């Protein structure tokens, strides 16, 4: 862990030198998790800013929190890290004065804060380190296994919210936080791209969408389950969306621009005969410590790194394909692939790839 922090510290020091700042304040949950190797600085699950901040300087790292949070943070999150604590009573918390005593020059912050200089730490998240990739692969494997188990247990008559509950329980048992769960049964698959779970009962078909987080890292998965024989139209659409997804995945390679990958995906939509479908929902993009750092579009000039995570999610009305990948020197690896799920073999210009078929029950 110490080596991981040292590398990330060096990335921040480089950013400090480039921006002529003497310190950086980390407030965001995502950036805290990134820098500390997955540690937690939040209390409420749905929050962007944590209850513990990090102050990064050239010589030292400090953590700033109040007297409520300090006992747990010091014992369960940052023990043995060597960071120096700065503690304020919860009813005072005048950290700015304490920070100014430590840092005499300009200070950067990852959120708007007083007159601090805004800094983009998300740009430092990649490339992923080997330690992060190992954590990510384990998360992908365990999340996928749970998704498969839950999908195989779904019965006709189950409510969408019941499926959400079972999926959440299973994920929490592995310390995976379900930060997004979307369940759609039957008509709701075609009607809504973001179907929040309801009391709607499953009759014939269900789509299960999940974003799960552990150690700060997030995987995204979509799976479909169908009771009885598929209609020819749904079969056709699902094969098409899997070919589009395969195009996105196989085009996601080091030194290519995200915009170029997006354009290739749009061409595949057209080739499959669904040229307007991409306009009905975004297509995904870079992931990692955020569900998506931004949504890919054709004007994104950012170059893809080796060891960078992506989650593409093309959809055609009634179906969708989504997994999480990590780029390599050559072909990306799919960290949420499950060989026990029925798969479609798709041919691409870079070779074959397997995408999840609809599970027939």
Write down the domain spans for the chain.
2-124, 130-360
Say whether pLDDT at 270 is over 70. yes
Task: Return d(Cα 236, Cα 206) in angstroms, integer.
Answer: 17
- Please give the average per-residue pLDDT across 273-299, as a whole number: 98
The whole-number average pLDDT for the span 64-72 is 98
Q: What share of the chain is helix, strand, coil (3-state, %, to 5)?
A: 35, 25, 40
Instruction: Provide the token pair at 133.
Output: 């990739």
Mean pLDDT of 158-166: 98
Whether 300 has a pLDDT exceeding 80, the answer reads yes
Whose tokens are 């029950």? That residue is 361
- Give 308's strand partners: none
Contact 352, 346 (CB under 8 A): yes
Helix axes 160-172, 130-153, angle to 10 degrees: 140
Give residues with Cβ within 8 angstroms of 237, minimum separation 6. Answer: 274, 316, 317, 318, 319
Query: For domain 130-360, which architecture applies?
Result: Alpha-Beta Complex (3.90)
Average pLDDT of the chain is 97
Which CATH architecture fits 2-124? 3-Layer(aba) Sandwich (3.40)
Tokens of 116: 């601090």
DSSP 159: B
pTM, to two decimals:
0.96
Q: Do domains 2-124 and 130-360 have the same CATH topology?
A: no
Predicted confidence (pLDDT) at residue 218 exceeds the cutoff of 70: yes
At residue 75, the 3 state secondary structure works out as: helix
Q: Which two tokens stand for residue 224?
A: 């479909």
Q: How far apart are CA 280 and CA 144, in angstroms?
A: 27
| pLDDT of residue 1 exceeding 70 | no
């Amino acid at each position: 862990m110490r080596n991981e922090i040292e590398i990330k510290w060096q990335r921040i020091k480089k950013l400090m030198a480039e921006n002529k700042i003497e310190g950086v304040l980390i407030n965001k949950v995502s950036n805290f998790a990134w820098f500390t190797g997955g540690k937690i600085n939040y209390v409420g699950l749905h929050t962007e800013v944590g209850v513990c901040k990090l102050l990064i300087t050239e010589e030292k790292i400090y953590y700033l929190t109040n007297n409520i949070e300090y006992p747990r943070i010091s014992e369960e999150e940052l023990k043995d890290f060597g960071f120096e604590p700065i503690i304020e009573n919860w009813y005072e918390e005048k950290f700015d004065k304490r920070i100014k005593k430590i840092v005499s020059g300009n200070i950067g912050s990852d959120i708007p804060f007083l007159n601090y200089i805004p800094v983009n730490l998300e740009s430092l998240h990649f490339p992923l380190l080997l330690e992060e990739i190992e954590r990510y692969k384990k998360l992908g494997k365990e999340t996928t296994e749970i998704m498969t188990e839950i999908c195989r247990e779904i019965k006709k008559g189950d409510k969408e919210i019941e499926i959400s509950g079972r999926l959440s329980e299973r994920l929490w048992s592995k310390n995976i936080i379900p930060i997004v769960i979307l369940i759609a049964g039957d008509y709701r698959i075609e009607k809504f791209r973001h179907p929040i779970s309801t009391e709607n009962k499953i009759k014939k078909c269900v789509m299960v969408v999940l974003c799960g987080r552990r150690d700060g890292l997030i995987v995204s998965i979509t799976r479909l389950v169908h009771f009885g024989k598929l209609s020819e139209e749904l079969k056709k659409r699902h094969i098409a969306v899997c070919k589009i997804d395969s195009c996105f995945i196989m085009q996601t390679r080091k030194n290519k621009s995200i915009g170029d990958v997006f354009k290739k995906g749009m061409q595949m939509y057209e080739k499959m005969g669904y040229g307007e479908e991409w306009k009905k929902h975004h297509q995904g993009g870079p992931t990692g410590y955020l569900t998506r750092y931004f949504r890919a579009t054709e004007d994104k000039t950012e170059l893809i790194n080796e060891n960078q995570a992506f989650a593409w999610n093309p959809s055609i009305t009634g179906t969708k394909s989504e997994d999480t990948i990590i780029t390599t020197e050559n072909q990306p690896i799919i960290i949420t692939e499950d060989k026990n799920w029925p798969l479609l073999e798709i041919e691409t210009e870079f070779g074959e790839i397997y995408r999840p078929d609809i599970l027939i029950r």
